[in-house]
Amino acid sequence: MATIADNLQRVRARLQQACAQAGRDPAGVRLLAVSKTWGADAVRAAHAAGQRAFGENYVQEGVDKVQRLRADGVEGLEWHCIGPLQSNKTRPVAEHFDWVHTVDRLKIAQRLSEQRPPGLAPLQVCVQVNVDGGPNKSGVAPADALALAQAVAALPRLRLRGLMCIPEPAPDVAAACAVFGRARALWEQLRAAGLDLDTLSMGMSDDLEAAVASGSTLVRVGSAIFGARHYPA
């Protein structure tokens, strides 16, 4: 059976290849290992194989893992919250995570900024954009992204880093690239408007090649590293 270290090697090779094909420097694409549903042991195995940045979707599960690994003395981990955020769940996120990718309204950003402990570095945030317009999806509408990003950038305890999107699975690479390309164009537009952005969070296990070809700077990869997820019934 492939180990987490083997899988990480394979994902890194895919990223290298995708960057080579796109004529991009591999240093410009970060790998976020999405460890949701997996235990602290899986994170430790990935850490031993050189992985440092981990993504979690569920606040309590994430906080438990952060605390567990800290208590175990595992050093240098960076924790990213990539799940939908309700305003009554912002405090543990502000207190335990390094990044939040899913800011899609100002109220959430204001609470995160107010609740970020003064002793910690500013919380690094991305604004989530509903780039393919699904009616029931999280994410700000593309037309409202600039105003939200400007308001978020002005909050004292947050540092706005970029945009994040989770498009619907596309039927083929060309369709995936078209949607990712819209996110990239919006990101460029915000930069042109004067926002200091360096992160475009897009691409997962099945579509990281299309995301890299379209300008992603951070791919969020779960199952290709840890295996298929099993959700409790």
> Nearest approach, Cβ of 193 to ligand PLP (angstroms)?
26
Bridge pairing between strands 158-164 and 218-221:
unpaired
Contact 148, 140 (CB under 8 A): yes
Question: Site mask, ligand PLP, residues 44-83, x = CB under 6 A?
Answer: -------------x------------------------x-
221 sits near ligand PLP (criterion: CB under 6 A): yes
Q: How many residues bind ligand PLP (CB under 6 A)?
A: 13
Contact 55, 36 (CB under 8 A): yes
> Nearest approach, Cβ of 67 to ligand PLP (angstroms)?
21
For the four alpha carbons of 159, 160, 162 and 165, in that order, the dihedral sign comes to positive
Residue 52, both tokens: 């440092």
Q: Which of residues 84-143 bind ligand PLP (CB under 6 A)?
A: none
Which CB atom, from 55 or from 157, has the smaller least distance to ligand PLP?
55
Closest residue to ligand PLP, Cβ-based? 222
108: nearest Cα among 63, 143, 139, 80: 139
> Nearest approach, Cβ of 61 to ligand PLP (angstroms)?
12
Q: Which of 204, 211, 212, 218 binds ligand PLP (CB under 6 A)?
A: 204
> Nearest approach, Cβ of 71 to ligand PLP (angstroms)?
25
> Alpha helix (H) ranges present in the chain?
4-22, 40-48, 59-71, 90-96, 106-115, 145-153, 173-192, 208-213, 223-226
- The residues that touch ligand PLP, with contacts defined as CB under 6 A, are 34, 36, 57, 82, 166, 204-206, 220-224
